[in-house]
Structure formats: structure tokens, C-alpha cells
Structure 1
Amino acid sequence: MEGFTSFFDSQSASRNRWSYDCLKNFNQISPIVQTHLKQVYLTLCCALVASAAGAYLHILWNIGGVFTTLACLGSMGWLLLSPTYQEQKRVALLMAAALFQGASTGPLIKMGIDFDPSIVLGAFVGCALVFGCFSAAAMVARRREYLYLGGFLSSGVSLLFWLSFASSIFGGSMALFKFELYFGLLVFVGYIVFDTQEIIEKAHLGDMDYVKHALTLFVDFADVFVRILIIMLKNASEKEEEKKKRRN
């Protein structure tokens, strides 16, 4: 009983310590690292614009598919293999990877627009809010507090891979699909927190590769956006089917 009492006392104390001032507590992040983070997030915003352009190009000319997926992976690999002093080249490769990724996601986005354009907008706004909140939480938390999540998240990705592999061979049920969808969303939301703290820690240790760090966050954002969009599309289609059944 005393254990439960002390637990709830500690929880209430932590809630009392939480205030608006905590949201502005970036003192543990040095000014140099803060400048680096601004550069990372500015580059990330440019990559998101390039990705949106890629999705728009798919809607116009239907270019998204296997080729754009391979081109996206190739651009990312080329970027990671390029030396850091080739800054303009690496930024261009990041924008190209984002453009191809947007085109690859284009079929799903077009499906959402054809069904209900507000779903795509809602998925993006929801993803942006999730990304912003969890990134901010990682920034105001103690340094290295969430780095322990790396092992759990890697295990989660491995589980998703083997579930997808088993589904492709033996076939999968709707329940398994839902589990992969929601569990995958949880894993990649966790990666937002983990990657943000890892980027901060690497920057404190002298790694100022803002292009690579922006690529990491872009991949997290894209993974979360795709899953939120699929969930919203699935829920909307189920509601539409229920309405049709009631009418009949």
C-alpha cells in the first residue's frame, strides 16, 4: 500500500512541477546546438515541400510507383555515402529523395483526395501536431532520457518486418493488418522522440550534419503520415459502408 501511495505522490509532484515554463526550458541545449536544430528543421520543411510537389506530380502525370520508390532509396543511399563537405550536392539529393518519396506516396494520397480531400488535410495536420508535440517533448526532457527506447523500437521494427513477411507468405487477417498498422504507428511515433534526442546528443558531441539529421526526421514524418492517412481512410470507408447498409 505504501508503494502505491509513494507512486501517486511522485506522479502528482511531477504534474505540479510541469508548467508552461517547462515548454520553454531549452537551457540544457547549447546555443550552437539550438542553431543546428533550427537548420535541421528548416531543411526538413523544405523536404516536406519537395515531397508535396512529388505527390502533386503523381496526381498530374501518374508517375508514382516502383521506379520512384527505387529512386528514393537510391537518392538516400547516395546522400549517406557522400562526404559532408559536398553540402549543396547532399541537399539536392535530400530534395530529390523527398520528391520521389512524395511521388511514391502519391497513389495513396490520390485515393484519399478522390474519397474525401479533407482526409488528406486532416492526416497531414494530425501528423504535424504529433511530430511537433513529440519533438518538443524530446527537447525539453533531460538529455539522453529517451535514448533507451532505441532497443525497444528496433525490436518493434523487426516484429513488423516478420509479421509482414509471414502475411505475404501465409496470408494475413484483418486483425493482423490492424495490429501492424497501429503498432507501426506507435513504433514510428517513438522514433520521433528517440531520433530527436539522438540528434541533439550527436550535435553536442560535434556531429553537425544537418542534412543527414533532416533526412532522419523526414523518414519519421513520412512513416507516421502514411499510417495516419491509412487509418483515417479505413475508418472513413467503414463508416461509408455502414451508412450504405442502413440505407438498404
Structure 2
Amino acid sequence: MDFMDRNINFNALLKFSHISSSTQQHLKRVYSCFAICLLVAAAGAYVNVVLKFLQGSFISFAGSLGMMIWLMSTPHTFENEKKRLGILAGFAFFSGVGLGPALNMCIAINPSIIPTAFLGTAMIFMCFSLSALYAQRRSFLFLGGILMSVLSLLLISSLVNLLVGSVLLFKMHMYIGLLVMCGFVLFDTQLIIEKAEQGDKDYVWHCVDLFLDFITIFRKLMVIMAMNEKEKKKERK
């Protein structure tokens, strides 16, 4: 049989039979909020980098933390839905503002790093998300303990590196951290599915998990690419 004569059923490719219809609807809300958060974060980055407004890492950190605490303290009820979406947008905005220093560094080295890193992040996120969605339920939940342990070790190593100042240790931290965040995309996606199947339909808070994964991967990818580009420029001289 000729391969070109075969009909590919794209609807079947997008069918997740092991996930209930209510959970699939929940995931649509989560990813819709996620897409909006990316747009709002882009606006925050634009305000910081282009308009030179809200400069300073403390402002973005305080704003993000404040919005996160506000969101956590606001109950998940129908009456609070619009309010919580507004808080989520505020969190995304300040997260975008927080990307300013990394974006400015990339612009100074090579502006093409930013779109390349974004496309790379989008591809990584999409591939790992689809892997989690198509995989058997709970198959990646075992990663939770491992990822948190490695994350704790990375935190300790970063604190040690503040005193040591090792470039090699910093590079290892960035590359291992990138792998850890890829694992978190698998873990968080399946955890959201499991929570939704158990009746937790807080799509706003579930969006926060995936949004943080994406932003962290994007930031680490930008820094890694900037470091590599800087080394290439030194070799050319």
C-alpha cells in the first residue's frame, strides 16, 4: 500500500481517551489562561525593557510575590473567578517585568537569542506537555520527589557559588536546572490531570504551575545561549 494514499486522522491524534471529558474541558481552561499569561508577561517585559519603566529586580520580585500570596489567600469560588483571573494577570505581568535583566543581557550580546530561546522553550514545553498528556495516568508522578531533591541540591549549590564564584559550577547549575524544569513540565501536567480527576478544578492555580515552568525554562535557555554566544565571540577575537 502506498504511504501517500493513507488518510491520517488528526482528530484521533488529539483524542485522550484515558482522560475524562470534564478533565479535558478543565485542561482547555488551564491552557487558555496560560496563553493569556504569556501575552501579559510579554507586555510586562516590554514595559521594563523598551519603556524603561518598573526597573529593578526588587519591584518585580515584590510584585510577583504579593500577587502570589493574594491569589493563594483568595478562595476558589464562582464569585471570585474574575478577581482571581485579574490577580493571575498581575502575577504574569510582574513575572514578565522580572525577565528584564535577562532580556537586556541578551540584547547586549545578540538580540536574536531572545526569539530563538522563546521558540526553543515553546518546543520543549509542547513536547513534554504532549508526552505527559499521552502517557498513562500517574506514570510521571514518581518524578516529584526526585525533582524536588535535585532542586534542593541546586539551591544549595547556588548559595555555595555565591562564595566560590565558579563559572563551571554556574554552567552546571543552569544545564541541570533546565533538565529539572523539563521534568517539572511532565510532573505538573500529570499532577493537574490527577487533581482534576479527583475534583480539583481550580484552573487558575493550575495555570500558575505551568506558567512558572515555562518562564523558568525560557530564562535558563536565554542565559545558556547568551553564555555560549559570549564564549564564541571571545574565541573569534
Aligned pair partner of 1:151 in 126, 145, 149: 145
Aligned pair partner of 1:42 in 28, 32, 36: 32
SS in structure 2 of the partner of residue 143 of structure 1:
coil
Matching residue of 1:208: 201
Matching residue of 1:116: 110
SS in structure 2 of the partner of residue 61 of structure 1:
coil
Aligned pair partner of 1:187 in 170, 180, 192: 180
User: Per-residue deviation at 1:22?
Assistant: 8.5
SS in structure 2 of the partner of residue 117 of structure 1:
coil
Q: Could you tell me how far apart the structure 2 residues matched to 1:21 and 1:157 are? A: 38
SS in structure 2 of the partner of residue 207 of structure 1:
coil
Matching residue of 1:172: 165
Matching residue of 1:77: 69
The structure whose residues are more often helix, as a share, is 1
User: Per-residue deviation at 1:161?
Assistant: 1.0
Deviations 1:13-40 (A, max 9, x none): xxxxxxx999545100111111110110
Q: Could you tell me how far apart the structure 1 residues matched to 2:69 and 2:186 are? A: 24
Would you say the 8 A contact 1:119–1:229 is kept in 2?
yes
Matching residue of 1:141: 135
Deviates more, 1:20-29 or 1:155-164: 20-29
1:152 maps to amino acid: I
Query: Percent of aligned positions with the same letter in both sequences?
Result: 43
Matching residue of 2:192: 199
1:83 maps to amino acid: P
Deviations 1:101-135 (A, max 9, x none): 11111121122123322110000000000000000
Question: Is 1:63 matched with 2:57?
Answer: no
Matching residue of 1:128: 122
Alpha-carbon spacing, 1:159–1:110, altered in 2? closer, same or farther (3 Å):
same
> What is the root-mean-square deviation of aligned Cα atoms in Å?
1.5
Would you say the 8 A contact 1:28–1:143 is kept in 2?
yes
Question: Is 1:93 matched with 2:84?
Answer: no
TM-score normalised by structure 1 residue count: 0.87
Q: How many equivalent residue pairs? A: 224
Q: Could you tell me how far apart the structure 2 residues matched to 1:241 and 1:93 are? A: 44
Q: Which runs of 4+ in 1 moved over 4 A?
A: 20-23
User: Per-residue deviation at 1:173?
Assistant: 1.1
Q: Could you tell me how far apart the structure 2 residues matched to 1:36 and 1:97 are? A: 21
User: Per-residue deviation at 1:172?
Assistant: 2.9
Structure 1 alignment gaps of length 5 or more: 1-19
Matching residue of 1:5: none
User: Per-residue deviation at 1:68?
Assistant: 1.4
Question: Is 1:232 matched with 2:225?
Answer: yes
TM-score normalised by structure 2 residue count: 0.91
Q: Could you tell me how far apart the structure 2 residues matched to 1:80 and 1:219 are? A: 15
Alpha-carbon spacing, 1:156–1:23, altered in 2? closer, same or farther (3 Å):
farther
SS in structure 2 of the partner of residue 147 of structure 1:
coil
Q: Could you tell me how far apart the structure 1 residues matched to 2:71 and 2:104 are? A: 29
User: Per-residue deviation at 1:89?
Assistant: 1.1
Structure 2 alignment gaps of length 5 or more: 1-9
